Amino acid sequence: MSWIREGELTIIERFCANIIKAGPMPKHVAFIMDGNRRYAQKCHVERQQGHSQGFEKLAQTLRWCLNLGIREVTVYAFSIENFKRSKEEVDGLMDLARQKFSRLLEEQESLKKHGVCIRVLGDLPLLPLDIQELIAQAVLATRNYNKCFLNVCFAYTSRHEISSAVREMAWGVEQGLLEPSDVSESLLDKCLYTNNSPDPDLLIRTSGEVRLSDFLLWQTSHSCLVFQSVLWPEYSFWNLCEAILRFQMNYSALQKARDSYMEERRRQQMERDQDYVTKKLQQEGFASHGDSRRRRTLLQKCTAMREERIQGFLQALEHKRADFFERLCPVSA
């Protein structure tokens, strides 16, 4: 299949893979595939060639990830900022996208065989309509596959994504599905484009740049960040292993930091809930320290009601999103 290179690891690669797999492995890796244009310059070829090579390298890297048991990969394919590039380059990238998504749709059998679920994340209405339609077809065709997951960020920036998540919650409030007090970090998590994925364990950026460039800012706050100087089209299996080793070296520190962050988050939510209950009891004329049973009951009731509201809202959001894709391909499979 053109998006995932066929082939197994060489003997040496398999040897190293086995060593690495003895330690903790990332379940979800994100890539900023930077360096296509510099590679093209270096090799004295057209930029378009650089991007093409970049895609080939993506296919190869996905294969390596699968070989290593890494089942979810997210890539930054096209930023909203990239629209600022020359018309020629943007058109070239759009054509590459057309080519690759069309090809993907011709490979239904292979997608099924590998069980690849393709998701495309971004402000899709910014794209040419025909590309939106191709994307919708690819997403709908693979939505029930679950052996591995490929998330392609296209017409994406993290700030747009976070704003969109907040907008969705505001929509929920406007629709009467949510109370403003239901807004929380965990609810915002569930409104991002990446709501069906765990946070990336590892973020790799190639070409030597040491910044995030508006990619998954929310989701990678506690991820292992690895900056590698190799240009993307020259990425090797060894580069990938190096990054995973870095992840392993950071594993316990990051686990610890994440756990303490979640604990603090839980504690603050509990505090907010207790304050709410106290206020409620006071309103109803009971002493704030009141009957601990009454407190507990009220707390349970409020929590349950909030859960119900949130479930209802998330379902509505899910429908809205599915609807967007379904309307783009009325003759979906």
Instruction: List residues binding another protein (CB under 8 A).
Output: 79-82, 84-85, 157-160, 162-163, 166-171, 173-174, 178-181, 183-185, 188, 208-214, 217-218, 220-230, 238-239, 242-243, 246, 249-250, 253-254, 257, 260-261, 264, 268
Output 9 or 162, the one with its CB closest to another protein: 162
Compute φ and ψ for 121, nearest 5 degrees.
-115, 130
Cβ at position 180, least distance to another protein in Å? 4
Please report which residue ranges of the chain form alpha helices under DSSP H: 11-20, 36-42, 47-67, 87-106, 108-114, 129-142, 158-174, 185-191, 237-283, 292-328
The two three-digit tokens of residue 250, written as one number: 């950071």
What CA–CA distance (Å, rounded) separates 293 from 280?
14
Cβ at position 252, least distance to another protein in Å? 10
What CA–CA distance (Å, rounded) separates 30 from 149?
12
What CA–CA distance (Å, rounded) separates 55 from 328?
25
Cβ at position 246, least distance to another protein in Å? 6
148-156 β-sheet, strand order: 116-121, 148-156, 72-79, 28-32, 202-205, 224-227
Cβ at position 86, least distance to another protein in Å? 9
Contact yes or no for 262/38 (Cβ under 8 A): no
Cβ at position 40, least distance to another protein in Å? 14
Output 20 or 141, the one with its CB closest to another protein: 20
Output 261 or 332, the one with its CB closest to another protein: 261
Output 3 or 235, the one with its CB closest to another protein: 235
What CA–CA distance (Å, rounded) separates 304 from 209?
47
DSSP conformation class of 199: P
The two three-digit tokens of residue 138, written as one number: 């690819």
Cβ at position 333, least distance to another protein in Å? 33
Output 146 or 315, the one with its CB closest to another protein: 315
Cβ at position 109, least distance to another protein in Å? 37
Compute φ and ψ for 116, nearest 5 degrees.
-85, 120
Output 126 or 188, the one with its CB closest to another protein: 188
Output 35 or 63, the one with its CB closest to another protein: 35
